[in-house]
A and B are shown apart, each in its own frame.
Chain A
């Protein structure tokens, strides 16, 4: 909503994603500032570093979204279901573990391996697409 309210400030021809992220980033920082007394353990500097480092990554976020969908489709059915369950409303590793009769550690390990697979798949696909563009 903040971005929508401030959308008229965006200057055509400039990097929209960077601008949008900057506004979002400032909102996060403002939240931190306003809630400074709520014993948050994060420091603003870390959030700032992460946000800045992430700007470049977000520039390719549309590609990432598309490639991630493809990689998700390549996962074994059981893994894909686990991803769906993990990101279902209100879900947690604990609730999945309880439902599946597994230990939290076991579910955590499965998710870790799925994330690893997805990460590798995304990186390889993006790299290969980049290679095709260059050749």
Chain B
């Protein structure tokens, strides 16, 4: 596209592109460019939404707003005329059409219910009840010990990624990774509301923050208190008598009175107002009464709470051989390897028991693994030059898309869709990682890839060795 356009001409061009997009007439490449522009350009999004809303209303006016299930089925006639078109293009168009229809459906549904509301006059007073069908994944249960979960209409399926909603643990212990980078050990009986990847509400019971990736905020609330932690380790108990105990083990936390019941309505966007905060340092414990007033101070007692070591994934059963890299063909993974024509390379280390990558490198090897909920990957990692993303991932093919799942263990970039809960590497020495990947993905995965990503100056370096993939059932 011509870069010397005046703003008016740019808008005209944008309108033309959006119009073609709405009609499903963009090529695959144009679609990609358009989506990239939407992601980065607020004005383009604004214009797109104006035209999208108008388009949706035109559909509505014509009575063409189909039910969501059919829309998702995407049996639009547009596809019938494109027999000569590359299937990839058709596929992308289907997906583009889905997005359009999804948003159109949102508009249509909103308008329809607005009309209903006007007709209804006085809607029923609400009681907020979190629903597991809502929201994007915020956390994951990665280990369980003798757990019994209470299944109710308002709790969610603990075998899936956790979205904003409630967990009720009747007994046992569970280790929960919040995707923002905090790991929490929950002890039953307990009721925990998950608000987002870095926010939770403890209604009752006991939990401990047992792990955090590098500096980030985690907010934990109770009926009366808001605890802000910047990578601290601490324990919190909401006792049956409504007393709340806070024990800080590492770092410090800020604690303040919340608005009344700030997070009981599980909502990702809620930011409760807080009053003056007090700082609680490592080694201190404070007991608060049911109104959130301090009633006692004493020394923190870590033994009252679960700790990380109680949850470590089992050792490999027997002598599971590490991947011998010399017997695999190391291939570039997707466009990511050497992206932007940056250098990428690798070498095998430790007589084939390890691999070193550098530059802007994403290298893969064929493993053909059936990943089950019990699958664990174990390896040693070290790094001498931090890049944007260091880690590994599984994929069914050589295309970087949503079928790929990346686990980041180091790197300064926080990228949407890549959890930070394992981003815990520090220093330059070897560190062992053991990750229950089966909690995040299951099924047949053909490729395992390793990452030393640095899209700017290509100076990332990653070393992996003693890579083992094995089955380790959790202790039920």
Contacts and interface: CB of A to CB of B under 8 A. Distances in A.
A120 to B, nearest CB: 10
B356 to A, nearest CB: 31
B122 interface: yes
A40 B122 contact: no
B136 A29 contact: yes
Nearest to A36: B402
A8 B95 contact: no
Contacts of B131: 6
Given A41-B401, A119-B51, A62 B114 contact: yes
Query: What 8 A-B pairs have minimum CB-CB distances, sorted nearest first?
Result: A112-B19, A94-B81, A87-B62, A26-B134, A24-B106, A11-B126, A92-B78, A45-B416
A18 to B, nearest CB: 9
30 contacts: A6-B131, A7-B113, A7-B123, A9-B129, A10-B123, A11-B126, A12-B123, A16-B114, A20-B113, A28-B105, A31-B102, A33-B136, A37-B402, A39-B95, A39-B401, A42-B95, A46-B35, A48-B136, A50-B48, A57-B53, A62-B114, A65-B111, A93-B78, A94-B81, A95-B77, A108-B19, A115-B19, A115-B54, A116-B12, A119-B15
Interface in B56-92: 57-62, 64, 68, 72, 76-78, 81-82, 91-92
Contacts of A12: 122-123, 125-126
Residue in B16, B42, B92, B106 whose Cβ sees the most chain A Cβ within 10 Å: B106
A84 interface: yes
Interface string B29-67: 001100100110010011011111111011111101000
A112 B161 CA distance: 42
B377 to A, nearest CB: 20
B136 A8 contact: no
Contacts, number: 210
Interface string B103-142: 1011101110110010000111111110101111100000
A47 B105 CA distance: 13
A123 B55 CA distance: 14
B25 interface: yes
